[in-house]
Structure 1
């Protein structure tokens, strides 16, 4: 190739690059060519919750590694850009390109959001992931999120949560009447039918509210996160199971327009990195919760199961709320019809294989050195 011809072509290429940057096509062109793209992700969680907040950091780390450092995600904790409950709005408005959150925080906008995280007497972590990946759940939720200009991805799971901390023992449904409990969304609506007075309180304010008597109890996540917040000091009765969160799923949100600009290889990187973060979060909770529970009990926490009477009343109230919402919300009913069929089959299968095996393992512990 002649030198003059080479320089001419190089000049045209350089000019095209400048034009792409000036016309707003630079991000896509840069990604396709291996250049840098830099996004901001707003989390709904504080930094001290290293399992939940940490999932976004794990995601960002893998995006950078898989793109050879060309795709950078800057992770911001709740309050650094927007408060935790405003993550959906921030992604919709393109204040940030991405978010990491629990979709049931937006239950007030549309109860259908709750299916993306957890609903009372819903599926466990593995069952939910199975529904999303192979039961039509992701297609249904993508269709729903499209109405909100968001592309959703799996973003972690806490596993089955605990039933919360209470100042007094819960021996019957009667003990729930008038109880001021920090709980929200779908669970709050169900508990209202049982006489509970739901309270919406940010995580950082729960301890003080319990200490001052503003609330009588609070649910959070599970032993590892609960221990950090010190609830056992002011509300020692620790109940299980958290029937309203059989497997609380977290999600990554991407602004629909920003996602469309990405080259295919960067879209694949997002898919891969979100799945890694999804698996990593559950593994962390499974590894850390047993030791934290032992520590809590050693510190004075009184571990107790909800009475069957309470569980049965909660189940009945849950079915009422589902029927009421399905009757008035087409979005909700569309997802519910798929979800309930899958849940039924999963419950039968897990009850056969998993439960029988787990029951035997629990009643026949094999301790180190035995």
Structure 2
């Protein structure tokens, strides 16, 4: 009898311990499951830019939905926290958890930035640039360079960059008289080609074009021009494009990424990989319908550059490509890969 009583007492102790353990687990698990992270995201796009809504807000919604709200993105438009050119450093140092930039804004850190932001007159179709990034390994090369600065790099999309101008370009003389808002490698290219190119932040672009500070500008292509109101003051849409490239990139602080639970890290990376394909294809579709609408409703006209102007621009462009290769061994490797690819396509 005493032995039975002893075992009953011992069982009661074990049962109590198990109950306390389960209770503690239940008390901790919901709290852990509800842990949330809020990332500050500084964009280089003004709120009025089509990509702010279509790229950045889309990404915010996807990540928040797939993490069940555990990771929230607090968005800031261009200039709200930092100047666009300072965003890379802010993300690198962990002051910002995420940002969007043009690769041109990180040229002092990323030797591949000039190639990423688009060598002029290299690709002729968007799929060619997408294949170069994702299938030939250029995206991974960018990611590896950015990692050296504590940054996880993801190209948002590849798309053409096309100018709008206030007066048509009908001759080489017309081109060389232009004052153009530009940035990065294209700014250097347009200047070397004979135009006067200068950088103007997105928030000041419409006023600069309207007041005559510049005669033309590029902000993406048709969607960018339309969303920024540029067609109101510049009725000529110039083709062919200056380049086709990964002109926008999403950058993430590696420190911030490492602090997330493993499942959330995977969600973020998968969302960024998916973003490239969704936005590249969506952009092409919207380009076509946006330009058609601008022609029909806003009186915009296509200004196709004369052959002699195109020939001169191509020669200037190709002479510049080699300069980008001199930035580093990595840049030369990427340039050699690009030239080989263009040769396979029959362009060189």
Counterpart secondary structure, 2:39: strand
| Cα 1:91/1:199, change in 2 over 3 Å | same
Relative distance call for 1:335 and 1:83 in structure 2 (3 A) is: same
Cα gap change, 1:344 to 1:10, in 2 (>3 Å):
farther
State yes or no: 1:125 paired with 2:126: yes
* Aligned residue number for residue 337 of structure 2: 338
Q: What's 1:253 paired with? A: 251
Q: Distance in 2 between matches of 1:229 and 1:328?
A: 34
Q: Which moved more, 1:66-75 or 1:197-206?
A: 66-75
SS in structure 2 at match of 1:160: strand
Partner of residue 97, structure 1 = 97
Determine helix, strand or coil for the equivalent of 1:141. helix
Deviation sequence 1:92-111 (CA, Å, 0-9, x none): 12111111222123335555
Deviation sequence 1:180-206 (CA, Å, 0-9, x none): 111121112122222111111122322
Shift in alpha-carbon separation, 1:252–1:307, aligned structure 2, 3 A: same
Q: Does the C-alpha gap of structure 1 residues 54 and 233 become closer, same or farther in structure 2, counting only changes over 3 Å?
A: closer
Aligned to 2:3: none
> Relative to 1, partners in 2 of residues 1:288 and 1:79: Cα closer, same or farther, differing over 3 Å?
same
Q: Which residue of 1 aligns with 2:166?
A: 167
- Report the TM-score, using the length of structure 1 for normalisation: 0.79
Deviation at 1:151, TM superposition (A): 1.1
Q: TM-score, normalised by structure 2?
A: 0.84
Contact 2:37 2:70 in 1 (8 A): yes
User: Per-residue deviation at 1:240?
Assistant: 0.7
Does the 8 Å contact 1:122/1:247 carry over to 2? no
Match of 1:4 among 17, 25, 28: 17
Q: Deviations over 1:260-313 (max 9, x none)?
A: 333332222012212333233234333333332233223222211111222221
Q: CA deviation at 1:325?
A: 3.3
2:87 matched residue in structure 1: 87
Distance 1:144 1:204 in 2: 30
Q: 1:133/1:285 Cα in 2 relative to 1: closer, same or farther (>3 Å)?
A: closer
Considering only aligned residues, what root-mean-square deviation do their CA atoms show, in Å?
Answer: 2.8
Bigger CA radius of gyration? 2
Matched, 1:68 2:68: yes
Matches within 5 A, 1:193-208: 193-208=192-207
Alignment of 1:115-194 (within 5 A): 115-123=115-123, 124-157=125-158, 159-162=159-162, 164-194=163-193
Aligned to 1:107: 107
Distance 1:74 1:212 in 2: 34
Q: Which residue of 1 aligns with 2:55?
A: 55
Point out where structure 1 has 5 or more consecutive residues left out of the alignment: 18-28, 352-370
Aligned runs of 1:241-280 on 2, under 5 Å?
Answer: 241-243=240-242, 245-280=243-278
Aligned to 1:314: 313
User: Aligned partners of 2:82, 2:67: CA distance in 1, in Å?
Assistant: 28
Q: 1:300 to 1:161 in 2, by over 3 A?
A: same
Query: Any conservation in 1 of the 2:42–2:77 contact (CA below 8 Å)?
Result: yes
**Does the 8 A contact of 2:63 with 2:271 survive in 1?**
yes
**CA shift at 1:218, angstroms?**
1.4
Whether the aligned pair in 2 keeps the contact of 1:43 and 1:53 (CA below 8 Å) is: no
